Amino acid sequence: MTQPKFKIRKGDLVEVITGRDKGKRGEVIRVIPKEARVVVQGVNIRKKHQRSYTVGGQTVPGRIIEFEAPIHISNVMLVCPQCNRPVRVGIRREEGRRIRICKRCGNEIG
Ligand SMILES: [Zn+2]
């Protein structure tokens, strides 16, 4: 298998299970399959300093931009809406579709 299939998708609610942001929850904004990384809303915030610059004779002051840096997909777990906690996810195949199942309560996550 050359392309790993991830159980986490854009729009999912996930919880960080390790690292600096452990316990934080947020929505997945972006999945980067090539790097096995995800960008999660409000998680792994980095600050970038933007220098002031001049546009049409007007100076735009420098500022600090906050943005979410990608974290490794293994550092987050999907939150089951039924259990309201991070859970392991199983896959059930049905009519060619992959349906994600909470391994704890058996609920379909979709
Ligand atoms: Zn569940």
**Distance from the alpha carbon of residue 109 to the mean position of ligand 1, in angstroms:** 8
**Distance from the alpha carbon of residue 101 to the mean position of ligand 1, in angstroms:** 8
**Number of domains comprising the chain:** 1
**Distance from the alpha carbon of residue 78 to the mean position of ligand 1, in angstroms:** 10
The predicted structure's pLDDT at residue 6: 85
Residue 91 has pLDDT above 60, yes or no: yes
Tell whether 109 is covered by a domain: no
Tell whether 35 is covered by a domain: yes
> Facing residues of 27 across strands?
13
Range of the domain at 78: 13-53+61-102
Q: Report the alpha-carbon distance of residue 81 to residue 22 in Å, rounded.
A: 19
Question: Is residue 58 classed exposed, middle or buried when 0-12, 13-18 and 19+ CB atoms within 10 A define those classes?
Answer: exposed
Q: Which two tokens stand for residue 4?
A: 């790993």
Q: Report the alpha-carbon distance of residue 58 to residue 19 in Å, rounded.
A: 42
Q: Give the CATH number for residue 73.
A: 2.30.30.30
Tell whether 108 is covered by a domain: no
Q: Report the alpha-carbon distance of residue 110 to residue 97 in Å, rounded.
A: 10
Look at the pTM and tell me if it is higher than 0.85. Answer: no
Tell whether 80 is covered by a domain: yes
Tell whether 96 is covered by a domain: yes
47-58 residue pLDDT tens: 999 999 999 999
36: left (phi over 0), alpha (psi -120 to 50) or beta: left
Q: Which two tokens stand for residue 108?
A: 């379909």
23-76 residue pLDDT tens: 999 999 999 999 999 999 999 999 999 999 999 999 999 999 999 999 999 999
